[in-house]
Structure 1
């Protein structure tokens, strides 16, 4: 079955090669890598097109739906044709057996989605911490914390349909809440990806990220003030715990 890998790219000339190589180097071969360039001004586009000439599984697209990573992802999702949809940003990387192990886990456990452990690394590639998710994540689990790193997530789009992201901040979290309202997600506990923590990224602004999270609970899901506050307190606790979990 075909896996569509969704990748947005913006001024990623320094990182996109490693990201692409980690996808086309997967032991699971039946893939398409759908890259949407988000109006880059550096050499990103030329690098992507060079890879398109090397590997026919890579699809290059231009973001014409409004600037931003969520719009770029949605553009790739719209043009994807896989039975499964997975995600990787242009500054992150995958373990070679990621897709193979996760699809195997989904089939074995009769789940329509999967996630894995992953490393948080600095911009030089040094490990900062190891994020270990629950073995199985339910919708209720996700209300307390974002247990699924987007770069590790994969879901069966043939059965569940396609899920698009809203441009609201923490758009991946809101998207995975909708996915898990239809299926549980099974984990591969082995670390299968590395997430780059950028000092100038939007998610680095912890106060803003917390506000996004609360707004999703209150406005997107529609929880009342009491329930929103309850789940938000769990989010704060788990966020601190995640970031202080050192690599063993």
Structure 2
């Protein structure tokens, strides 16, 4: 496990040192670049030495068997990436909604909707190589687009993670998020205005549908 401390101001660094001393599998590093989720994730990607890369931000939660179940699904179905369903929770841990995973996600599927929550995604870096996130809005979405150019992603229908919805987070600004998505379609993928607008309309519809899905 590779952990990057993003210039924390609490006891995180002290606790990491204790954990690293008790478990040699845990490696921690300081984010020496400008403070941001992108730089922190990229630092951990750079330092990682395992076959698989998955992401967990400090305010999110993984199911205890998340990695086991997803790696098993990848091996059994000959995929090199996987994602899962997950809960959206408030800052007190209360479930807001359930985001159900698509059983199989392709590169083109991602044009109309971000089907891979970054906290659920995992890919085989030994086979595909490492993918770094760009310092742009929706950096995780753009990264998964590049990954899915090389492999489809197999979905685990069981919810295997919980994503904390913070009112202070940048992604909470829906107008900014929509603009970021369009810019990726237009500038990063290189779609023309007509196709970008077409897929963007689908994205907006699917985003509204996802946010209003109630927990069963």
Q: Same fold (TM over 0.5)?
A: yes
**Partner residue of 2:137 out of 145, 155, 169:** 169
**RMSD between superposed Cα atoms in Å:** 0.8
**Partner residue of 1:226 out of 194, 209, 212:** 194
**Partner residue of 1:106 out of 74, 77, 89:** 74
Q: How far did 1:108 drift?
A: 1.1
TM-score using structure 1 length: 0.86
Q: Give me the whole-angstrom Cα distance separating, in 2, the residues matched to 1:209 and 1:52.
A: 36
TM-score using structure 2 length: 0.98
Instruction: Count residues in correspondence.
Output: 216
In the TM superposition, structure 1's runs of 4+ consecutive aligned residues that sit over 2 Å from their partners are none
**Partner residue of 2:204 out of 236, 239, 246:** 236
Question: Who is 2:108 aligned against?
Answer: 140
Per the alignment, in what secondary structure is the counterpart of residue 192 of structure 1? Answer: strand
Question: Who is 2:161 aligned against?
Answer: 193
Q: Give me the whole-angstrom Cα distance separating, in 1, the residues matched to 2:212 and 2:65.
A: 27
Q: How far did 1:67 drift?
A: 1.9
Per the alignment, in what secondary structure is the counterpart of residue 191 of structure 1? Answer: strand
Question: 2:89 aligned with 1:121, yes or no?
Answer: yes
Matched ranges for 1:18-167 at <5 A = 33-167=1-135
Unaligned runs of at least 5 residues, structure 2: none
Unaligned runs of at least 5 residues, structure 1: 1-32
Q: How far did 1:226 drift?
A: 0.4
Q: Give me the whole-angstrom Cα distance separating, in 2, the residues matched to 1:199 and 1:120.
A: 13
Compare relative contact order (CA 8 Å, sep 6+) and give the higher one, 1 or 2: 2
